[in-house]
Amino acid sequence: MENVSVLFAFTAGMLSFLSPCVFPLIPAYVANLTGSTFGNNRIEVSKSLLLARSLSFIIGFSLIFVMMGASASVLGRIFTHNRDVVQKISGLLIIIFGLQMAGILKLRFLMLEKRWEAKQTGEKNVWRSFILGMSFGAGWTPCVGLALSSILLLAGTSNTVYSGMVMLFVYSLGLGIPFLAISLIITYSLRVVRKINRSLGFLSLINGWILIGMGLLLFTGQLQKLSAWLAGFTFFTY
Protein backbone atom coordinates (compact mmCIF):
# COMPACT_ATOMS: atom_id res chain seq x y z
CA MET A 1 0.00 0.00 0.00
CA GLU A 2 3.00 2.28 0.58
CA ASN A 3 3.72 3.05 -3.10
CA VAL A 4 0.26 4.43 -3.82
CA SER A 5 0.03 6.10 -0.41
CA VAL A 6 3.31 7.97 -0.89
CA LEU A 7 2.21 9.23 -4.32
CA PHE A 8 -1.13 10.27 -2.85
CA ALA A 9 0.62 12.04 0.04
CA PHE A 10 2.82 14.10 -2.30
CA THR A 11 -0.15 15.01 -4.50
CA ALA A 12 -2.22 15.98 -1.46
CA GLY A 13 0.65 18.18 -0.26
CA MET A 14 0.83 20.03 -3.56
CA LEU A 15 -2.92 20.51 -3.75
CA SER A 16 -2.94 21.68 -0.12
CA PHE A 17 -0.44 24.35 -1.13
CA LEU A 18 -2.74 25.36 -3.98
CA SER A 19 -5.77 25.59 -1.68
CA PRO A 20 -7.64 28.88 -1.14
CA CYS A 21 -6.44 28.76 2.49
CA VAL A 22 -2.74 28.90 1.67
CA PHE A 23 -1.81 30.03 -1.84
CA PRO A 24 -3.26 33.57 -1.85
CA LEU A 25 -1.37 34.27 1.39
CA ILE A 26 2.08 33.21 0.10
CA PRO A 27 3.25 36.81 -0.57
CA ALA A 28 2.24 37.76 2.98
CA TYR A 29 4.04 34.70 4.39
CA VAL A 30 7.23 35.56 2.50
CA ALA A 31 7.10 39.23 3.48
CA ASN A 32 6.58 38.28 7.13
CA LEU A 33 9.38 35.70 7.14
CA THR A 34 11.92 37.99 5.52
CA GLY A 35 10.80 41.43 6.68
CA SER A 36 10.69 42.45 3.01
CA THR A 37 8.48 44.97 1.24
CA PHE A 38 6.41 45.04 -1.93
CA GLY A 39 7.68 47.16 -4.80
CA ASN A 40 7.49 47.22 -8.59
CA ASN A 41 4.89 44.41 -8.58
CA ARG A 42 7.27 42.05 -6.75
CA ILE A 43 8.74 41.31 -3.33
CA GLU A 44 12.14 42.93 -2.92
CA VAL A 45 14.41 40.69 -0.87
CA SER A 46 17.80 38.99 -1.09
CA LYS A 47 17.56 35.53 -2.67
CA SER A 48 19.94 33.99 -0.11
CA LEU A 49 17.92 35.44 2.76
CA LEU A 50 14.70 34.20 1.20
CA LEU A 51 16.05 30.66 0.75
CA ALA A 52 17.36 30.45 4.31
CA ARG A 53 14.12 31.71 5.90
CA SER A 54 11.83 29.67 3.62
CA LEU A 55 13.78 26.45 4.20
CA SER A 56 13.68 27.05 7.94
CA PHE A 57 9.91 27.61 7.73
CA ILE A 58 9.45 24.41 5.70
CA ILE A 59 11.56 22.36 8.13
CA GLY A 60 9.42 23.72 10.97
CA PHE A 61 6.08 22.55 9.62
CA SER A 62 7.62 19.32 8.27
CA LEU A 63 8.76 18.39 11.78
CA ILE A 64 5.24 18.86 13.13
CA PHE A 65 3.68 16.84 10.30
CA VAL A 66 6.16 13.96 10.69
CA MET A 67 5.47 13.86 14.44
CA MET A 68 1.76 13.71 13.63
CA GLY A 69 2.43 10.83 11.24
CA ALA A 70 4.33 8.92 13.90
CA SER A 71 1.51 9.45 16.42
CA ALA A 72 -1.14 8.33 13.92
CA SER A 73 0.87 5.19 13.09
CA VAL A 74 1.33 4.30 16.77
CA LEU A 75 -2.40 4.73 17.33
CA GLY A 76 -3.12 2.59 14.28
CA ARG A 77 -0.90 -0.23 15.54
CA ILE A 78 -3.01 -0.40 18.72
CA PHE A 79 -5.88 -1.53 16.50
CA THR A 80 -3.80 -4.02 14.49
CA HIS A 81 -6.20 -6.87 15.19
CA ASN A 82 -9.06 -4.80 13.76
CA ARG A 83 -7.15 -3.38 10.79
CA ASP A 84 -9.99 -4.10 8.33
CA VAL A 85 -12.43 -2.11 10.44
CA VAL A 86 -9.93 0.74 10.85
CA GLN A 87 -9.37 0.86 7.09
CA LYS A 88 -13.09 0.98 6.36
CA ILE A 89 -13.72 3.75 8.90
CA SER A 90 -10.70 5.69 7.64
CA GLY A 91 -11.81 5.24 4.02
CA LEU A 92 -15.30 6.47 4.86
CA LEU A 93 -13.94 9.55 6.63
CA ILE A 94 -11.62 10.35 3.71
CA ILE A 95 -14.60 10.11 1.33
CA ILE A 96 -16.52 12.57 3.54
CA PHE A 97 -13.53 14.95 3.56
CA GLY A 98 -13.36 14.68 -0.24
CA LEU A 99 -17.08 15.41 -0.64
CA GLN A 100 -16.63 18.43 1.62
CA MET A 101 -13.67 19.73 -0.36
CA ALA A 102 -15.46 19.18 -3.68
CA GLY A 103 -18.39 21.26 -2.39
CA ILE A 104 -20.87 18.38 -2.48
CA LEU A 105 -21.19 18.36 1.30
CA LYS A 106 -21.26 21.51 3.42
CA LEU A 107 -20.73 20.30 6.98
CA ARG A 108 -20.14 23.36 9.15
CA PHE A 109 -18.11 21.55 11.82
CA LEU A 110 -15.52 20.67 9.16
CA MET A 111 -15.11 24.36 8.36
CA LEU A 112 -14.09 25.46 11.85
CA GLU A 113 -10.94 27.52 11.50
CA LYS A 114 -7.72 27.62 13.41
CA ARG A 115 -5.81 30.23 11.47
CA TRP A 116 -2.08 30.85 11.65
CA GLU A 117 -1.33 34.45 12.58
CA ALA A 118 2.27 35.48 12.96
CA LYS A 119 3.11 38.37 15.24
CA GLN A 120 5.13 41.17 13.75
CA THR A 121 7.26 41.71 16.85
CA GLY A 122 10.65 40.16 17.48
CA GLU A 123 13.81 39.81 15.44
CA LYS A 124 13.36 38.04 12.12
CA ASN A 125 15.87 35.20 11.73
CA VAL A 126 15.99 31.53 10.73
CA TRP A 127 14.99 30.37 14.21
CA ARG A 128 11.93 32.58 14.20
CA SER A 129 11.07 31.22 10.73
CA PHE A 130 11.43 27.68 12.09
CA ILE A 131 9.04 28.45 14.97
CA LEU A 132 6.57 30.07 12.58
CA GLY A 133 6.73 26.92 10.45
CA MET A 134 5.90 24.82 13.50
CA SER A 135 3.01 27.17 14.27
CA PHE A 136 1.75 26.79 10.71
CA GLY A 137 1.93 22.99 11.00
CA ALA A 138 0.08 22.96 14.31
CA GLY A 139 -2.62 25.44 13.26
CA TRP A 140 -3.84 24.44 9.82
CA THR A 141 -6.92 25.99 8.21
CA PRO A 142 -9.99 23.96 7.09
CA CYS A 143 -9.12 23.10 3.48
CA VAL A 144 -5.56 22.11 4.39
CA GLY A 145 -6.89 20.20 7.40
CA LEU A 146 -9.11 17.99 5.24
CA ALA A 147 -6.19 16.81 3.08
CA LEU A 148 -3.83 16.54 6.05
CA SER A 149 -6.39 14.63 8.12
CA SER A 150 -6.82 12.21 5.22
CA ILE A 151 -3.07 11.56 5.10
CA LEU A 152 -3.04 11.04 8.88
CA LEU A 153 -5.90 8.53 8.58
CA LEU A 154 -3.94 6.74 5.87
CA ALA A 155 -0.84 6.79 8.08
CA GLY A 156 -2.93 5.19 10.82
CA THR A 157 -3.55 2.19 8.55
CA SER A 158 0.16 1.72 7.69
CA ASN A 159 2.06 -1.31 8.89
CA THR A 160 4.84 0.52 10.73
CA VAL A 161 5.48 3.83 12.49
CA TYR A 162 8.24 4.46 9.96
CA SER A 163 5.76 4.20 7.07
CA GLY A 164 3.51 6.82 8.65
CA MET A 165 6.43 9.18 9.21
CA VAL A 166 7.59 8.77 5.61
CA MET A 167 4.07 9.45 4.37
CA LEU A 168 3.87 12.74 6.27
CA PHE A 169 7.40 13.67 5.23
CA VAL A 170 6.40 13.23 1.59
CA TYR A 171 3.26 15.29 2.25
CA SER A 172 5.53 18.02 3.62
CA LEU A 173 7.64 17.86 0.46
CA GLY A 174 4.51 18.27 -1.64
CA LEU A 175 3.66 21.38 0.36
CA GLY A 176 7.20 22.71 0.78
CA ILE A 177 8.68 22.39 -2.73
CA PRO A 178 6.05 24.58 -4.44
CA PHE A 179 6.21 27.01 -1.50
CA LEU A 180 9.92 27.46 -2.12
CA ALA A 181 9.43 27.75 -5.89
CA ILE A 182 6.66 30.37 -5.65
CA SER A 183 8.63 32.28 -3.01
CA LEU A 184 11.45 32.69 -5.52
CA ILE A 185 9.10 33.52 -8.39
CA ILE A 186 7.37 36.38 -6.57
CA THR A 187 10.73 38.11 -6.10
CA TYR A 188 10.53 38.65 -9.87
CA SER A 189 6.79 39.18 -10.33
CA LEU A 190 3.45 38.69 -8.55
CA ARG A 191 1.61 38.02 -11.81
CA VAL A 192 2.01 34.24 -11.50
CA VAL A 193 0.24 34.29 -8.13
CA ARG A 194 -2.65 36.31 -9.55
CA LYS A 195 -3.06 33.92 -12.50
CA ILE A 196 -3.05 30.79 -10.32
CA ASN A 197 -5.52 32.41 -7.90
CA ARG A 198 -8.14 32.28 -10.65
CA SER A 199 -7.93 28.47 -10.80
CA LEU A 200 -8.02 27.72 -7.07
CA GLY A 201 -11.69 26.73 -7.05
CA PHE A 202 -11.11 24.17 -9.79
CA LEU A 203 -8.00 22.83 -8.04
CA SER A 204 -9.97 22.42 -4.82
CA LEU A 205 -12.53 20.38 -6.78
CA ILE A 206 -9.77 18.15 -8.15
CA ASN A 207 -8.36 17.68 -4.66
CA GLY A 208 -11.80 16.68 -3.41
CA TRP A 209 -12.25 14.00 -6.05
CA ILE A 210 -8.74 12.65 -5.42
CA LEU A 211 -9.64 12.24 -1.75
CA ILE A 212 -12.91 10.52 -2.70
CA GLY A 213 -11.06 8.10 -4.97
CA MET A 214 -8.44 7.29 -2.34
CA GLY A 215 -11.16 6.83 0.29
CA LEU A 216 -13.03 4.39 -1.94
CA LEU A 217 -9.84 2.39 -2.60
CA LEU A 218 -9.13 2.19 1.12
CA PHE A 219 -12.73 1.35 2.08
CA THR A 220 -13.03 -1.46 -0.50
CA GLY A 221 -9.58 -2.90 0.23
CA GLN A 222 -8.40 -2.22 -3.32
CA LEU A 223 -5.57 0.09 -2.22
CA GLN A 224 -3.33 -2.80 -1.20
CA LYS A 225 -4.08 -4.69 -4.44
CA LEU A 226 -3.28 -1.60 -6.53
CA SER A 227 -0.02 -1.02 -4.68
CA ALA A 228 0.97 -4.69 -5.08
CA TRP A 229 0.19 -4.51 -8.80
CA LEU A 230 2.29 -1.36 -9.22
CA ALA A 231 5.16 -2.94 -7.29
CA GLY A 232 4.97 -6.05 -9.48
CA PHE A 233 4.77 -3.95 -12.64
CA THR A 234 7.82 -1.90 -11.63
CA PHE A 235 9.79 -5.08 -10.87
CA PHE A 236 8.78 -6.60 -14.20
CA THR A 237 9.90 -3.54 -16.19
CA TYR A 238 13.33 -3.74 -14.61
Give the residue extent of every domain in the chain: 2-237
The whole-angstrom separation of Cα 73 and Cα 78 is 9
Q: 0.85 cut: is pTM over it?
A: no
Per-residue pLDDT of the chain (238 residues; tens, 9 = 90+): 456 778 888 988 888 888 877 888 788 888 888 887 776 778 888 888 889 999 999 999 999 899 988 888 887 777 666 767 878 888 898 899 888 888 888 777 665 555 555 454 455 678 888 988 888 887 766 556 778 888 888 888 877 788 888 989 999 999 999 999 998 888 888 888 888 888 888 888 888 888 898 889 888 877 766 655 545 544 444 4
The whole-angstrom separation of Cα 139 and Cα 160 is 26
State residue 80's pLDDT score.
63
Contacts of 19 (CB under 8 A, 6+ apart): 143, 144, 147, 200, 203, 204, 207
State residue 237's pLDDT score.
47
State residue 101's pLDDT score.
82
Question: Is the CB of residue 215 less than 8 Å from the CB of residue 91?
Answer: yes
Contacts of 211 (CB under 8 A, 6+ apart): 12, 94, 95, 97, 98, 101, 146, 147, 150
